[in-house]
Amino acid sequence: MNTSIETGSADIVSFDDEPLILVDSDDNVLGHMSKAEAHAGEGVLHRAFSIFLFNSEGDVLIQQRAKAKQLWGGFWSNSVCSHPRRGETLAEAAKRRLHEEIGVDTDVTWLYRFEYHAQFGDIGTEHELCSVFIACSNAPVAGNPNEIANLSFVSSEQLDAALVKHPDHYTPWIKLEWPRIRDTYWSTVVDLLRD
φ, ψ of residue 157 in degrees (nearest 5): -65, -40
Considering the candidates 81, 136, 147, 177, report the single residue annotated as catalytic: 81
Q: What are phi and psi of 13, to 5 degrees?
A: -120, -5
- Per-position b or e across 3-29, b if 16+ CB within 10 A of its CB: bebeebbeeebbeeebbbbbbeeeeee
The residue count for the chain: 195
Task: Give first-to-last CA distance, the chain, whole Å.
Answer: 15
37 is catalytic: no
Tell me the DSSP string of 32-68.
Answer: EEEHHHHTSTT---EEEEEEEEE-TTS-EEEEEEPTT
Q: Which residues pair with 35 in a beta bridge?
A: none
Active-site annotation holds for 81: yes
Q: Is there a contact between 152 and 145 (Cβ–Cβ < 8 Å)? A: no
Q: Which one is catalytic: 101, 126, 128, 147?
A: 128
> Mind telling me the catalytic residues?
81, 128
